Copies of this chain bind each other. A is one copy, B any other.
Amino acid sequence: MLIVAALGGNALLQRGQKLSVETQFANARKAAAVLAQLAKKHQLVITHGNGPQVGNIMLQVEAALGRAYPVPLHVAVAESEGEIGYILEQSLLNELARRKLKKRIASMLTQVLVGKNDPAFQNPTKPIGPYYGKQHADALARKGFSMTKINGGYRRVVPSPKPLEILEAEAIRKLVKMGILVIAAGGGGIPVHRKGKALTGIDAVIDKDRASAVLARDVRADMLLIVTDVPCTYLDYGTKNQKAIRCMTVSQARHYIHEGHFAEGSMLPKVEAAADFVAHGGRKAVITDFASAEKALRGKAGTTMVK
């Protein structure tokens, strides 16, 4: 079975943990144990978030303005694919060697095409980078950045356009079919659009789950596995009526979305990505956490989405 496994940002940096490269390597070692187990039986493409890492890079870019050349957001996303892809690949190689599994890994930079006229460009919503005071935020706004007030501070917001196509999908599929484990579409991929006929990077971030659903479609995966920090999705999450969803169809999912069961910026994009993949011909999508991943593949845990 060809599985696209989308790791949440929490796979490498969990809330409350010290942000560092060491923390990421330590978490990657734990993630690698589960992923190696999956890689033993299945063909695997691993995608991952990059929120804390790209925020950290943008902080560094800003702190060095005037001393070092700045990189725009799309290049910072490319750098974060380098950082995270390397940490994941090395951790996985070590875990595979420990289990005496002979498997190669390829970590690929990934560009994701978005539409020039995507409405997200008129309405930037995705916060990135650090919190600023009002004065600093006003200065950035005068430079043309979109800013928003969050939790009493100010953050830059960027567009989060819809991913249309993974430019490296064919190479990724070929690698997987040859038995190579692939790490790709990190941070939702590097956002590019067509300016005339030429590809050009654009300052935006693509939702990692949506990009993973498009990648799963483009490489013709059997399953999209979305790994998050809860074992499954719930109706009435966080209330006394909370009820685990073990299985849902795409139309049930749309109904639940309409009823507002899934939190925006959290479970909602995951359920939408799962539904998109299945609606576009994918066999099934599963939402679960690392601890339940193996059972979830056998339908014994997690939330499974089917047509």
Contact = CB atoms under 8 A, between A and B. Distances in A.
Contact of A63 (B68, B75, B86, B107): B68
Given A21-B72, A60-B61, 20 more contacts: A19-B69, A57-B68, A59-B67, A60-B64, A64-B64, A75-B83, A78-B85, A78-B86, A79-B82, A82-B85, A86-B201, A90-B200, A90-B201, A93-B167, A98-B197, A104-B168, A104-B171, A106-B106, A106-B175, A107-B109
Nearest to A66: B63
A301 interface: no
State the copy count for this chain.
2
B104 A170 contact: yes
Contacts of A87: 75, 78
A82 to B, nearest CB: 3
Contact of A60 (B60, B106, B197): B60
A198 interface: yes
A209 interface: no
A192 interface: yes
Contacts of A85: 78, 82, 109
A86 to B, nearest CB: 4
A83 B197 CA distance: 22
The CB with the most chain B CB atoms within 10 A, among A60, A61, A74, A167, is that of A60
Contacts of A71: 21, 83
A57 B79 contact: yes
Interface in A11-42: 19-21
A94 interface: yes
A43 interface: no
A59 B67 CA distance: 8
- What 8 A-B pairs have minimum CB-CB distances, sorted nearest first? A82-B82, A63-B64, A78-B86, A60-B60, A59-B68, A79-B79, A107-B109, A60-B64
